Structure 1
Amino acid sequence: MKILGIIAEYNPFHNGHKYQIEKAKEISAADYIIVIMSGNYVQRGAPAVFDKKTRAEMALNAGVDAVFEMPSFFSCASAPDFADFGISLLQILGADYISFGAENNDYKLLNDVADILLYGDLESNIKKYISSGLNYAKARHNAIIKELKGNNTEQIESILASPNNILAIEYLKNIKLKNFDIEPVIISRCGSGYHEKEIEENKFSSATAIRKLMAVRGYRKETDFTQNIIKAVPKENIDLLKKNKPVFEDDFLFTLQRNILDKLKRGENLTEYCDMSEELANTVEKNIYELKSRSYTDFILNLKSKNFTYTRISRALFHILLNHKKQDLKKIKSGENISAYPLLLGFKKESSELLSELKRRSKMPIISKISNAKDILSEKSLKIFENNIYADFLYNSIYFEKYGESLINPYRSNVVIL
């Protein structure tokens, strides 16, 4: 049996995702597809537009055989930690392949960049660029280009500018670093770009464009589905999109602001939280007392400077909200491997043979009942798990505040079986 793994957010699941699944299965000749999917929070520092059970069901509807959860500690993390957890979990489960999308499927060049990150003399060059006035991200970017001298600079610039490519490089880097026996299957992106904000004719639309349309008041009208969203998602998921209600960053704004104010009142140092530098912490503290907007985007833009991207700020704020501390992350990452664990979100009945094989291959017991987690997990893994339960309760409370309806209690949540 050949098992192919995908690390994804499916925020929400769209036709481009279905294309990747079908293409990867064709190239690899894999028998089954498993997905490590972000839970209720995603990497750009935001709530997932639909809860994790709904998104798992969407994936199962459209060709995935089993879905496992990436907890918020890593689903909200920067690319290296996001990739580290995902790759480690695929290795634990015994996947033969990993498929990921890239704007440029030049395997050699992506592999060269991964080698530079592992073995290149980046730090000295990064320091030089920082001393010349560049922020860390730009300094690192320039250091990588300098190490790859002799290559097509324009092509390298393009690779380093794409979130999909950055993750692709981190996946390759992790496989090399840990000497994992997982074969990459790279699928070149088709259709709209990652950041494209409009639904485009005859192209696979981006998740960004779909979320933007969903955020428009009244998007649930049948005409909107017929003319727009219905073109961007698999037909199997149209009913799920109509039935379920979305959550956006704006819904979290005041809870986030109150949380920060409460932490400051208690004398907490915001730099204790992941992705929060001293400069950014000072900027947040300076602005948190002068609330000027009901828009999450405007709130972030008030904090933005040349040293911090929008995503970096948003990710840092959600780390504060979800209590993701640097010292905890350091403990979790200590030792040879990150403390990944296989929490099953959903599977297909017809793929029961896969589940039996995964149980045989897996280096850890597969968690299908939340109540069993404490008896299975190590102290470090349990820390991640319990933090994720807290994050899920928070997501559920925001959903209830918005709609007056309850999502499933995280402690009573069952595996989705189709």
Structure 2
Amino acid sequence: MAEKVVGIIAEWNPFHRGHEDMVHSVRKAYGDPFIMAVMSGSFVQRGEPALFDSWTRARWAVEGGVDAVFSLPVLCVLQSADRFGSYGVRLLASMGAEILAFGTESLSEEDLWDAASFSLTPSHKKAFHEALGGGLSYARASYEAMKSHSPFLAEELSKPNNLLGFRYAETILQNHFPMDIHVVHRNMDCNISATTARKELLHGEKTNLLPPKGAEEAAELIKSGCHTDFSRYEDACLLASRMVSESELSETGLFSEGLEHKWFREIGNEGYETMLSRIKSKRYLYSRLKRIGAQLLLSGRGPSPFSAPPLPSYARLLALRRSKSHFLNLIPIPVITSMARALKKADANTRLSLEMEIRASDIRSWCQHSPAYRKGRQEFYHSPLIVNY
């Protein structure tokens, strides 16, 4: 029987023991499938640079059991969780993934298909718009619409991983992708957090949350200053916002309901965190504001490509298990292994996406803690990392 092709959408900032357990669970479930992942690169979805570089994080994942890791373009990464997930599903589908694997707090495959199927019906649409018309927020209207179908599902979809899995299933159904889903239930009694791992590393603490080899290497990278200095990044975001006029903010397409005017009023604050805290509200959450700041830093003046990014049309390889390299020949879309060669052949949309990748990498390099690691144009000097087993 031919090996199954399983896809994973990831951030791995950094790859920890919980991720490793999930990968091993998927491998066991499908009898040693080809596991490929699309991973956020220089920036992560929450609106800031990753702690470590893309290639190192991808290699840790391959050493932890993944067969190949590809970059999810930054234009797709710096989006709401819904859109981030949708772009990831679409890219994996175009690469030939047959199964999408992910973790949830509680919901099963059947639950997620049920919720996703109902969300695409006229009944759901009617209930949702009635709730919105009654003055409810988007999230509450979604809850009430799903509750009309299943109170249990409505309640469980308030949990972040359940909700993301629901969006994955919804994208698959909307686009009629020939893709199944595989759920790995997270151990909520022993929930390993990448956020906690980052904090422990940045505080110089020994962490047991990463696989031993990754933990040792991560500690060395922190010690040497080869990691993101978030204070440098915040200063860059504040400066970028001050370089754009109020009318130019409006032209970017990144703002709605007059938010750009409030943004402009607050750019004189002494720090980026203070600026965001004064803009933040129940309607404009901190995560959304951080993404806007990152989008402005990357795209600057004029209409921003982040407001309506093109669908991914290529697969950019970051790391690969050598014994599974033959699978690359089965991927239907172009596989990029050299930035320089790709730019020479790129159409307009691909060029735009790749140029944003270069810019994101340059900004992340500039934000490194040690000056020794701030050299730019790293996208032209890195080849995919090959793991020899």
Taking structure 2 as the reference length, the TM-score comes to 0.88
The Cα shift of 1:177 comes to 1.8
CA distance in 1, matches of 2:275, 2:202: 18
Aligned with residue 189 of structure 1, among 179, 186, 190: 186
Pick from 333, 336, 343 the counterpart of residue 374 of structure 1. Answer: 343
Per the alignment, residue 396 of structure 1 pairs with 365
Equivalent position of 2:24 in the other structure: 22
Q: Cα deviation per residue 1:141-161 (whole Å; 9 max; x = unaligned)?
A: 333333x2xx234x5223233
Q: Which amino acid aligns with 2:63?
A: N
1:244 paired with 2:221, answer yes
Indicate the larger mover: 249-258 or 64-73.
249-258
Shift of 1:306: 1.6
Cα distance in 1 for residues equivalent to 2:49 and 2:123:
37
Equivalent runs, 1:205-224 vs 2, <5 Å: 205-216=192-203, 219=204, 224=205
For residue 11 of structure 1, report the CA deviation from its aligned partner: 0.8
Query: What is the 5 A alignment of 1:145-294?
Result: 145-146=147-148, 148=149, 151-153=150-152, 155-162=153-160, 164-191=161-188, 203-216=190-203, 219=204, 224-225=205-206, 229=207, 231-245=208-222, 246-247=227-228, 249-264=230-245, 267-270=247-250, 272-274=252-254, 276-291=255-270, 293=271
Counterpart CA distance in 1 for 2:167 and 2:154 is 15
Counterparts of 2:196 and 2:14 in 1: how far apart (Å)? Answer: 10
Secondary structure, counterpart of 2:299 in structure 1: coil
Structure 1 residue 303 and structure 2 residue 279: aligned?
yes
Counting only pairs closer than 5 Å after superposition, residues 114-133 of structure 1 correspond to structure 2 as 114-122=116-124, 124-133=126-135
Once the 2 structures are TM-superposed, how far is the Cα of residue 126 of structure 1 from its aligned partner?
A: 4.4
Q: CA deviation at 1:253?
A: 1.1
- AA aligned opposite 2:36: I
The amino acid across from 2:105 in the alignment is E
CA contact (8 A) 1:39 1:71 kept: yes
Q: CA deviation at 1:139?
A: 3.0
Q: Distance in 2 between matches of 1:405 and 1:263?
A: 30
In the TM superposition, what whole-angstrom CA distance separates every residue of 1:146-196 from its partner, at most 9, and x where no partner exists?
3x2xx234x52232331x22221121112212222222111011146xxxx
Residues 5 and 34 in structure 1, CA contact (< 8 A), matched pair in contact too: yes
**Which ranges in structure 1 are unaligned for 5 or more consecutive residues?**
193-202
**Which has the larger displacement, 46-55 or 404-413?**
404-413
Q: 1:182 to 1:40 in 2, by over 3 A?
A: same
From 327, 330, 335, the counterpart of 1:357: 327
1:96 offset after TM fit, Å? Answer: 2.4
Q: Give distance in 2, aligned partners of 1:357 and 1:415.
A: 15
What is the CA distance between 1:268 and its match in structure 2?
Answer: 0.5
Q: Distance in 2 between matches of 1:109 and 1:347?
A: 34
**TM-score, structure 1 normalization:** 0.83
Q: Percent identity?
A: 25
- Other structure's SS at 1:405 match: helix
The runs of 5 or more residues in structure 2 that have no matched partner are none
Paired residue type of 1:178: N
- Cα distance in 1 for residues equivalent to 2:55 and 2:158: 33
Alpha-carbon distance in 2 for matches of 1:8, 1:142: 30
How many angstroms apart in 1 are the aligned matches of 2:304 and 2:93? Answer: 25
Deviation at 1:130, TM superposition (A): 4.0
Q: 1:112 aligns with which of 95, 103, 114?
A: 114
Q: Is the 8 A contact 1:88 1:340 kept in 2?
A: no
Indicate conservation of the 8 Å contact 1:102/1:186, yes or no.
yes
Paired position in structure 2 for 1:48: 50
The 5 A counterparts of 1:86-105 are 86-105=88-107
Distance 2:367 2:64 in 1: 28
CA RMSD, aligned part only?
2.4
Give the aligned length. 378
User: 1:49-68 counterparts in 2 under 5 A?
Assistant: 49-68=51-70
Between the aligned partners of 2:215 and 2:36, the Cα distance in structure 1 is: 22
Change (3 A) 1:378 1:332: farther
Matched, 1:314 2:287: no
Local SS of the residue matching 1:140: helix
Contact 1:40/1:51 (<8 A) preserved: yes
CA distance in 1, matches of 2:178, 2:72: 21
Name 1:328's counterpart in structure 2: 305
